[in-house]
Structure 1
Amino acid sequence: MRSKLLPGVIEATRLTGAGRLGEAVAVIQRNLRGEAAAESAPTRALEPPTLDLVAEHVAEAEPRPASGEARRERGAQETPSGFPSGFAAGGLPTGGLPTGGLPTGSLPGLSEGLRDLAQRFGRPLGPLFDGLTPGSSPAPDLGMEERSFAGATGQRGYKLYVPGGYRGQPVPLIVMLHGCTQNPDDFAAGTGMNRIAEAETFLVAYPAQTAAANHARCWNWFNTADQGRDRGEAAIVAGLTRAVMAEFAIDPRRVYVAGLSAGGAAAANLGAAYPDLYAAVGVHSGLCAGAAHDLPSAMMAMRQGAAAPQGSALQQAGAAMPPTIVFHGTRDTTVHPRNGAQVIAAAAVSELRREAGQVSGGHSWQRTIYRDAQGHPDFEHWVIEGSGHAWSGGDPAGSYTDPQGPDASREMWRFFAEHPMPRE
């Protein structure tokens, strides 16, 4: 499949970059049919739903409201997130292509021909249809403030949760990066992190990716221009973090970043690029820092797993990866579970001990603890048996959650609390 698909993806990317969208889609369609380019029929016009999708995005000046976002049925086993595909401003493709198949009947509103196309190709084309099916979003958390940050590399809105117990005393801050098709309200509802913040007294910031930056609202973790220090989206999120720290009494030794899927991969990038800012990192169903640099490499990384390349810009930042906790389900068909192990492998740590358990009425799990060169237990890898591409222990009020546990949010907070920034 790889030898047939990859050339078509590269050619479609080239055509799209040249503004030849119809020809790009035709190339993908020919790949699905197993036809060589020379044997294919002349390019036909795009069918109306796809044409509407592209035209709507190109004309879009502001992100579409959260209430109009695509929503899939909640749950762990049958709700891949469409990570990380999308279209950048101007209709250029920016994402990788997940693997697997689409659930039957999951493409309402498309012509029968396009539904058949997506079903035969499987999940790789699924993200192209995000946004065509309206649905409801979780009710906004009234305790969250809506804010905006603008820096040299761009602007993003975000939601901020300030717990009732905050009275100006130094407190921790967790920056939470949502997955594809999600938004801050959805991610807050699904992870339940605000409830923990209220009980433990820390602030939570939820940056919001825009449809203008990525059609499926995925963080562009796979773009080299968005990965490194003082670059693109990494710089935006780091700047947003510092803005919250400047306004509130945030303990600079207790600032953390975590994310799901595309957000998890972006969190790994941030940890590698800003080890002086983030004391620890949480990666759920994501990939290691620098795992991809463009669309084809993102697709391969998601499908097969990928290690951080030697000599990458992130590695050249000159600092070790901060303490990191990783969660990944064994039945994740969107991001291969091997990627969770690669996050740990990139840190060059050694195994300390393993533990296992089972949630009552839920999933069994294995936790492996790793020590760094100084012998500190600074890395954890949680493998959730039978869980898919979903936040472990999450609340069904949010999308892409698996309530059958264990509770990733609580374990991440426990890990973060154990790992403040070392004193100089």
Structure 2
Amino acid sequence: MIDATMSKRMEEATRLTRAGKLHEAMALLQGGEPEAGHEATPDNAYRGGNTFDGTWQVIDKEDTVTEPEPEPAKSPTGAFTPNDIKVPSAWRDKWMKFRGGMAQPEQAPSASEEPQPGAFTTGRFTNHVGARDYKLYIPSGYTGQALPLVVMLHGCTQNPDDFAAGTEMNRLAEEQQCCVLYPAQPMTANHSKCWNWFKAEDQQREGGEPAIIADMTRQIIDTHGLDGSRVYVAGLSAGAAMATTLAMTYPDLFAAVGVHSGLPHGVAQSLPDALGAMQGGTGPLGGGNQAKGAGWASDVPAIIFHGDRDTTVHPSNAERVAAQYSTSRQAGPTVEKGKVANGHGYTCTTHHNAKGETHLEQWQVHGAGHAWSGGSTKGSYTDPKGPGATKEMLRFFLQHQQAQA
């Protein structure tokens, strides 16, 4: 039973988090008091700085609360995983209710993929690290030839069917003749089905979730005889953060990466780090190019989409992601501005490498929030008013090919 004092503390912690006062909120949750001068009263909780109305809405907020992985000594049911902050069970349950009450999709999607002439099959992959289900789209024109492969990583609370419906990647894959792999994150790995981009053990080559996804990708390539030089990875939100982790850790596998509303690789290894990075750099590694300075950089070509009104993952993260892919870009980018008919305006900044090839594209979608630009309302977290991220990513991907050893 949660008494009135505990309830009041939970409400104050919610207000503190909305006001961007993450450390004070965490201190309060652990039984302390907010630091002097930082109390979140109704009068000051929303005043000054950037407030995040969607702080507890979806996609990446829930990805910091995970169910413990099976191990000999399990954590208490109501506690965060070992690397996160411990919170009493009753408090955690109430905290989740606060968060869950706001974690509603922006649409009420049917999550039904428009029927395509190709095959959309279900499978399961297992390696020495773990196992994941997946769905694979094979276009109708496939007769055993070496087609390209696009790996699509869904956001939190989503699944392969929902993500396929929202992005409409299968429809374009049918037109362009490529296969699409949708790995699925289960609730047993993360309470809200988020890819664990913020855990150190899931940021390494040959370990954690990157190893599962990479090995799954290789198996699909081998099984279907696909083109290993044309393999691409893209994601939304937590999926985008994991996509950039894969580009950093497996640059020999992925020929290009698409990062939609995502975060840089290696900027978080705990709950406060993750929330800080998502809110624009208040975490220990969230500011500037510290991640790049620590050695995180890649020559993998990248296309980045981000809405400039994203209140879940701060838009400044788009520039931080771009900084990790800057090793091959040259001075003098080209800038194109445009507007979707009856929709959002956008700015596309294109960087080229020394050979004059397109190496990095940054799409800033004006007026868009935390949603897949140009997506279908049949899936969650989509914004049909934006430029088509699926079309632009696929175009960008097919311009790039991995050099084969």
Q: Normalising by the residue count of structure 1, what TM-score does the alignment of the two structures yield? A: 0.73
Return the alpha-carbon distance in structure 2 between the equivalents of residues 269 and 138 of structure 1.
27
C-alpha contact (below 8 Å) 2:167/2:375 kept by paired residues: yes
Which residue of 2 is the match for residue 259 of structure 1? 235
Deviation at 1:79, TM superposition (A): 11
The residue type equivalent to 1:153 in the other structure is V
Code of the residue aligned with 1:93 in structure 2: it is F
Deviation readout 1:20-42 (Å, 9 max, x if unpaired): xxxx5x769999x949xxxxxxx
Change (3 A) 1:124 1:404: farther
Distance 1:256 1:124 in 2: 38
The answer for the alignment partner of 2:261 in structure 1 is: 285
Contact persistence 2:150–2:181 (CA under 8 A) = yes
Alignment equivalent of 1:332, drawn from 310, 321, 338 = 310
Structure 1 contact 264–282 (Cα < 8 Å) conserved = yes
Q: Which runs of 5+ in 1 are unaligned?
A: 13-23, 36-76, 98-113
Q: Which residue of 1 aligns with 2:48?
A: none
Q: Residue 344 of structure 2 is aligned with which of 348, 352, 363?
A: 363
**Letter paired with 2:324:** A
Determine which of 356, 360, 370 is the counterpart of 1:379.
Answer: 360
- Counterpart of 1:88 (choices 67, 70, 73) is 67
Quickly say closer, same or farther: Cα 1:92–1:248, change in 2 above 3 A. farther
3-state DSSP of counterpart to 2:348: strand
Q: Size of the alignment, in residue pairs? A: 344
Partner of 2:177: 201
Q: 1:229 to 1:417 in 2, by over 3 A?
A: same
- Where does 1:64-103 land on structure 2 (aligned, <5 Å)? 80-85=57-62, 86-89=65-68, 90-93=77-80
State the shift of 1:419 in Å: 1.0
The CA distance in 2 between the partners of 1:166 and 1:417, in whole Å, is 17
The answer as to whether partners of 1:179 and 1:218 remain within 8 angstroms in 2 is yes
Kept in 2: contact 1:96–1:297 (CA 8 A): no
Percent identity over the alignment is: 43
Shift of 1:196: 0.5
Of residues 346, 352, 373 in structure 1, which corresponds to 2:324? 346
1:83, distance to aligned residue in structure 2 (A): 1.0
Structure 1 segment 117-136 matched on structure 2, within 5 A: 125-127=98-100
Alignment correspondent of 1:139 = 112
In 1: Cα distance, 2:102 partner to 2:32 partner: 18
8 Å CA contact retained: 2:343, 2:385: yes
Measure, in 1, the Cα distance between the counterparts of 2:277 and 2:161. Answer: 29
Q: Which has the larger helix fraction? A: 1
Contact 1:88–1:214 (CA<8 Å) still a contact in 2? yes
Deviation at 1:136, TM superposition (A): 7.1
Tell me the distance in 2 between the aligned counterparts of 1:28 and 1:144. Answer: 53
- Corresponding letter in the other structure for 1:290: G
| Contact map agreement 1:303 1:336 (CA 8 A) in 2 | yes
> Hey, what does 1:54 align to over in structure 2?
none
**Alpha-carbon spacing, 1:370–1:92, altered in 2? closer, same or farther (3 Å):** farther
| CA shift for structure 1 position 345 | 1.3
User: Is the counterpart of residue 180 in structure 1 residue 156 in structure 2?
Assistant: yes
- 2:112 maps to amino acid: A
CA contact (8 A) 1:272 1:314 kept: no
Moved more, 346-355 or 137-146: 137-146
SS at match of 1:293: coil
Aligned to 2:403: 422
Distance 2:150 2:259 in 1: 13
How far residue 374 of structure 1 moved from its aligned partner, in angstroms, is 5.0
CA distance in 2: counterparts of 1:127 and 1:157, whole angstroms? 25
- 171, 190, 194: which one pairs with 1:214? 190
Q: Tell me how far 1:138 sits from its aligned partner.
A: 1.8
Distance 1:333 1:308, change over 3 A: same
The answer to whether the 8 A contact 1:372-1:378 is kept is yes
The 3 A distance-change label for structure 1 pair 150 and 10 is farther
Q: Which residue of 2 aligns with 1:42?
A: none
CA deviation vs aligned residue, 1:180-226 (integer Å, no higher than 9, x gap): 10000000000000000111111001011111111111111011110
Q: 2: CA distance between counterparts of 1:386 and 1:328?
A: 10
Deviates more, 1:354-363 or 1:137-146: 137-146
Once the two structures are superposed, what CA deviation does each residue of 1:232-260 show, in whole Å capped at 9, x if it has no partner? 01111111101101101211110000000
- Partner amino acid for 2:370? H
Contact 2:267–2:291 (CA under 8 A) maintained in structure 1: no
Counterpart of 1:413 in structure 2 is 394
Summarize the Cα distance change of 1:314–1:277 in structure 2 as closer, same or farther, 3 Å threshold: farther
Q: Indicate the SS of the match to 1:187.
A: helix
Aligned-partner Cα distance in 2 for 1:79–1:398: 20
Cα RMSD of the aligned pairs, angstroms, is: 3.5
Change (3 A) 1:280 1:127: farther
Corresponding residue SS for 1:389: coil
Q: CA deviation at 1:88?
A: 2.2
User: TM-score of the superposition, structure 2-length normalised?
Assistant: 0.76
* Residues 133-156 of structure 1: CA deviation (Å, up to 9, x unaligned): xx8752366631110011111111
1:223 match: 199
User: CA offset at residue 321 of structure 1?
Assistant: 3.4
Distance 1:96 1:28, change over 3 A: farther
Residue in structure 2 matched with residue 249 of structure 1 by the alignment: 225
Task: Give the 3 Å change call, closer, same or farther, for CA 369–309 of structure 1 in structure 2.
Answer: same
2:7 corresponding residue in structure 1:
none
| CA offsets 1:346-379 (integer angstroms, 9 cap, x no match) | 2233442100111111111010001235543210
Query: Residue 96 of structure 1: CA displacement?
Result: 9.7
